[in-house]
Amino acid sequence: MRNFIYSRRKLLLNLYSNNFSTSAIKTQNVQQATTGATKRICIVGAGPAGFYAAQYLLKQLSDCAVDIVEKLPVPFGLVRFGVAPDHPEVKNVINTFTKTAENPRLRFFGNVTLGTDVTLQELRDRYHAVLLTYGADQDRELQLANEEQPRIISARKFVAWYNGLPGAEQLQPDLSGRDVTVVGQGNVAVDVARMLLSPLDSLKLTDTTDYALEALASSKVERVHLVGRRGPLQAAFTIKELREMLKLPNVDTCWRPEDFTGIADQLDKLQRPRKRLTELMLKSLGEQSNRKGTPSIGKQFLPVFLRAPKAINQNEMEFAITELKNNAAVATEATERLPANLILRSIGYKSSCADAAINFDAQRGHVCNLQGRVLKDNSSKSVEPGLYVAGWLGTGPTGVILTTMNGAFAVAKTICDDIAAKSFDTDALKPGFEPANKSVVTWSGWNRIDQYERAVGKAKGKPREKIVTIQEMLRIAGV
């Protein structure tokens, strides 16, 4: 009994000692150990896929302990670093993720990189199952000459820049020219266009990083061209994003009437979502012709269809005019040049291979898998027992959070099914991850960062001011 009191006191003392890190890790360990959970599952990547999978596993497997390992000191992945700052409602999912993280059977290890700090083999040795959800941190390239020039940047990097991803603060996009050409027409493309065209005053109330607000304040950008290879019926943006664009104050959306030849006749054949999106484009086009003659009120958003990137020139970009054949864009001999002081490439993300032991399809940029079960090799259909993938790392970068949520639930269900079917061993004792000689941020460390960011933001009328360097994050977390 005396020993027990002593150890409790020691634990409390540890909690209040300056060494937050060690004591926080111990607290996490003690918490998890007291739950008696025996099946150990490690999730690599603390984005939406990782958290939704964790939520499902903790609920369905009452005897499982889940550890989430995250490369950055902070959680939430693209919810923090991808979702546009002027879409704070989308970030409400963080409340649910936080509840999941507060489950005593979950431990969070931030600032731990797969492939550098820990290998996949080590994780597989220390856990019954490993689920990879580290997302897509690379972008597809145009494969054109001059693509490495500083005035051609990926939309992914631009998003990371205004959202404060550590390392992105050095981007310094050149916003001194009048025209920005965005190559690609997905929702990321629309997000960056909106960030460039939105009135600064409204962005000041968001968690856009201060350095990005400063750069946007002196921006000379007036026109954003949004260029796609295919036609209006294949547009990749969704209707909510377009409607938002159309409502942006002091921004005119200018369509090219010739892009819409024959489109209205096809409305009846379309499924409801595509039909409503097309109707909205046609409605906006109609309003534009009524507007003719009145001078433009300010900035311009210029969607351009049926143009495929061909060459990057000084302050302009050359596109091949395309024709649609069986829904695919086929380049013709004809070309068109669009002004482009800055080019934002937004033609998709791809994942990177974090550890050489992962069966990775470098061509397509994702982990080879069958419904979330990682394949041993591409030719056979045999799977690595106890190794799974979910989210964009497995599916490729498509869909909204709902898509990722459903996908993550489905893979988590597969894990539960495989455990029930004894597809891999869950009886042997597994030790779980033990950080050695590494500054690890636990959930309480993240809470300190979170509180700090909110407090600094509050003083400026922003929901938070993000810390943008890893060093500073670690300092605030107390590790």
DSSP string, 9-38: HHHHHHHHSS-HHHHHHHHHHHHHHHTT--
Pick from 213, 210, 74, 71: which is nearest to 137 by CA? 71
Closest distance to another protein from the beta carbon of 241 (Å): 9
Closest distance to another protein from the beta carbon of 307 (Å): 26
Interactions with another protein, residue window 363-392 (CB under 8 A)? 371
Burial 116-126 (b: 16+ CB within 10 A, else e): ebbebeebbeb
Closest distance to another protein from the beta carbon of 63 (Å): 11
Measured distance CA(102)–CA(26) in Å, rounded: 15
Q: What angle do CA 315, 166, 20 make, to 5 degrees?
A: 175
Binding mask 164-203 for another protein (x = CB under 8 A): ----------------------------------------
Closest distance to another protein from the beta carbon of 451 (Å): 17
Nearer to another protein, 238 or 352 (CB): 238
User: Is 90 known to sit in a ligand binding site?
Assistant: no
At residue 8, the 3 state secondary structure works out as helix
Binding mask 391-430 for another protein (x = CB under 8 A): ---------xxxx-xxx-xx--x-----------------
User: Is 70 known to sit in a ligand binding site?
Assistant: yes
Nearer to another protein, 217 or 370 (CB): 370
In this structure, what are the phi and psi dihedrals at residue 375, rounded to the nearest 5 degrees?
Answer: -80, 145
User: Is 33 known to sit in a ligand binding site?
Assistant: no
Closest distance to another protein from the beta carbon of 272 (Å): 7
Pick from 39, 266, 248, 20: which is nearest to 131 by CA? 39
User: Please, is 34 exposed, middle or buried when counting C-beta atoms within 10 Å of its C-beta (0-12, 13-18, 19+)?
Assistant: exposed
Interactions with another protein, residue window 234-273 (CB under 8 A)? 238-240, 243, 247, 272-273
Q: Is 251:291 a contact under the CB 8 Å cutoff?
A: no
Specify the length of the chain in residues. 479
Nearer to another protein, 59 or 220 (CB): 59
User: Is 60 known to sit in a ligand binding site?
Assistant: no
Q: What residue type is assigned to position 465 of the chain? A: E
The two three-digit tokens of residue 292, written as one number: 């003719």
443 forms part of the interface with another protein (CB under 8 A): no
Interactions with another protein, residue window 271-290 (CB under 8 A)? 272-273, 276-277
Nearer to another protein, 351 or 404 (CB): 404
100 forms part of the interface with another protein (CB under 8 A): yes
Count how many Cα atoms sit within 13 Å of the Cα of residue 110 in the half-sphere of its side chain. Answer: 26
Q: What does DSSP say about strands 64-70 and 106-110: parallel, antiparallel, or unpaired?
A: parallel
Position among 8, 9, 10, 99 found at the interface with another protein (CB under 8 A): 99
Measured distance CA(158)–CA(117) in Å, rounded: 28
User: Is 415 known to sit in a ligand binding site?
Assistant: no
User: Is 114 known to sit in a ligand binding site?
Assistant: yes
Q: What does DSSP say about strands 129-132 and 383-389: parallel, antiparallel, or unpaired?
A: parallel
User: Is 456 known to sit in a ligand binding site?
Assistant: no
Nearer to another protein, 328 or 400 (CB): 400
In angstroms, the first-to-last Cα distance of the chain is 33
Closest distance to another protein from the beta carbon of 194 (Å): 15
10 forms part of the interface with another protein (CB under 8 A): no
Closest distance to another protein from the beta carbon of 188 (Å): 16
User: Is 243 known to sit in a ligand binding site?
Assistant: no
User: Is 407 known to sit in a ligand binding site?
Assistant: no
Q: Is 105:64 a contact under the CB 8 Å cutoff?
A: yes
Q: What does DSSP say about strands 223-227 and 179-183: parallel, antiparallel, or unpaired?
A: parallel
User: Is 400 known to sit in a ligand binding site?
Assistant: yes
Q: What does DSSP say about strands 342-345 and 179-183: parallel, antiparallel, or unpaired?
A: parallel
Closest distance to another protein from the beta carbon of 171 (Å): 27
Closest distance to another protein from the beta carbon of 92 (Å): 4
User: Is 477 known to sit in a ligand binding site?
Assistant: no
Pick from 133, 84, 73: which is nearest to 408 by CA? 133
Reported for 467-472, long-range contacts at CB under 8 A and 24+ positions apart, including other chains, are 467/164, 468/164, 468/165, 468/166, 468/168, 468/169, 468/209, 468/211, 469/166, 469/169, 470/72, 470/73, 470/111, 470/166
Interactions with another protein, residue window 50-89 (CB under 8 A)? 52, 55-56, 58-59, 62, 87, 89
Closest distance to another protein from the beta carbon of 278 (Å): 12
Nearer to another protein, 397 or 478 (CB): 397
Pick from 239, 313, 221: which is nearest to 279 by CA? 239
# of chain residues touching another protein (CB under 8 A): 37
Q: Is 453:464 a contact under the CB 8 Å cutoff?
A: yes
Measured distance CA(134)–CA(68) in Å, rounded: 11
Position among 14, 22, 38, 96 found at the interface with another protein (CB under 8 A): 96
Annotated binding site: 49, 70, 78, 114, 185-188, 229-230, 241, 392, 399-401
Interface contacts to another protein, rule CB under 8 A: 52, 55-56, 58-59, 62, 87, 89-90, 92-93, 95-96, 99-100, 103, 105, 238-240, 243, 247, 272-273, 276-277, 371, 400-403, 405-407, 409-410, 413
Annotated binding site for FAD: 49, 70, 78, 114, 392, 399-401
